[in-house]
């Protein structure tokens, strides 16, 4: 991971915030040990805050891995639920174990498969979180726009893509991220901001038709 902000600043913010929740620490340890790309603590706390501010009824994640980002979302919920999706059964089973241990299992729904297809069946989304294949972000938002509630938030991780978004000859994945960001900033139904924390987090407010 190339950091957008300097590693020293990242480290400083990271260290400011040691989670009290032992499950979060356990998940971070697993992510770091295996090199699995969790959103990590700084973005996790951001997701928690956004959820507190928004007070959503329904959060849908495309690309949940073993549940780290979803765990932060779920912890912040007063009511409502989080839908986790991942291609990998193993990841989802692991997520279930963490959610059970953290007593959050009742507020979550777990699905194995293509999150974009699974989410197409789910109406009334208040927060849509994208953290799957970077080449599929635009497709996901176009497919799922109709399932968002008025005033919903779309949050997408890795939208500065290791800083590659400003490189001269973007590769396929970078091109896809560039297109996605452009769409989210130029579509009148979305009002977006790109926050340069960690690998870039796009936050967007959706106005229906
Ligand atoms: C970056 S990881 C997710 C990390 C997770 N959001 C977190 O912070 O803990 C990406 C995950 O997306 C999953 N994935 C990729 N494409 C997907 C899709 N179309 N539907 C569901 N999951 C997908 C992969 O299996 C992988 O586990």
pLDDT, averaged per 10 consecutive residues of the chain (209 residues), comes to: 78 88 96 97 97 98 98 96 98 98 97 98 98 98 98 98 93 97 97 95 95
For ligand 1, atom 23, name the residue with the nearest CA: 63
Q: Is 39 in the pocket of ligand 1 (CB under 6 A)?
A: yes
The answer, yes or no, to whether any atom of ligand 1 lies below 6 A from the CB of 44, is no
Where exactly are the structural domains of the chain? 7-206
Q: Is 62 in the pocket of ligand 1 (CB under 6 A)?
A: yes
Give me the pLDDT at residue 19, please: 82
The reported pLDDT for the residue numbered 179 is: 98
pTM: 0.97
Please tell me the residue having the least CA distance from ligand 1 atom 16: 132
Cα(131) to ligand 1 centroid in Å equals 6
Q: What is the pLDDT of residue 7?
A: 87
Instruction: Compute CA 170 distance to the chain's CA centroid, rounded to the nearest angstrom.
Output: 23
The CATH number of 7-206 is 3.40.50.150
Ligand 1: residue whose CA is nearest its atom 19: 114
Which residue's CA is the closest to the ligand 1 atom numbered 7?
38
Q: Is 190 helix (H, G, I), strand (E, B) or coil?
A: strand
Residue 172's pLDDT is 96
């Amino acid at each position: 991971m190339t950091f957008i902000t300097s590693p020293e600043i990242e480290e400083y913010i990271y260290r400011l915030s040691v989670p009290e929740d032992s499950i979060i620490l356990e998940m971070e340890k697993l992510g770091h040990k295996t090199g699995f790309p969790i959103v990590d603590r700084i973005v996790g706390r951001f997701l928690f805050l956004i959820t507190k501010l928004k007070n959503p009824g329904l959060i849908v994640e495309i690309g949940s891995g073993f549940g780290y980002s979803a765990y932060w979302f779920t912890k912040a919920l007063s009511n409502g639920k989080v839908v986790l999706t991942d291609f990998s059964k193993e990841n989802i089973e692991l997520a279930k174990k963490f959610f059970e241990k953290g007593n959050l299992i009742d507020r979550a729904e777990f699905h194995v498969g293509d999150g974009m297809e699974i989410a197409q069946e789910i109406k009334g989304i208040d927060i849509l979180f994208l953290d799957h294949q970077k080449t599929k972000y635009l497709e996901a938002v176009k497919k799922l726009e109709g399932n968002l509630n008025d005033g919903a938030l779309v949050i997408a991780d890795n939208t500065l893509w290791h800083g590659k978004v400003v490189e001269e000859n973007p590769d396929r994945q970078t091109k896809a991220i560039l297109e996605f960001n452009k769409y989210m900033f130029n579509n009148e139904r979305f009002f977006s901001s790109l926050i340069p924390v960690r690998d870039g987090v796009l936050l967007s407010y959706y106005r229906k038709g």
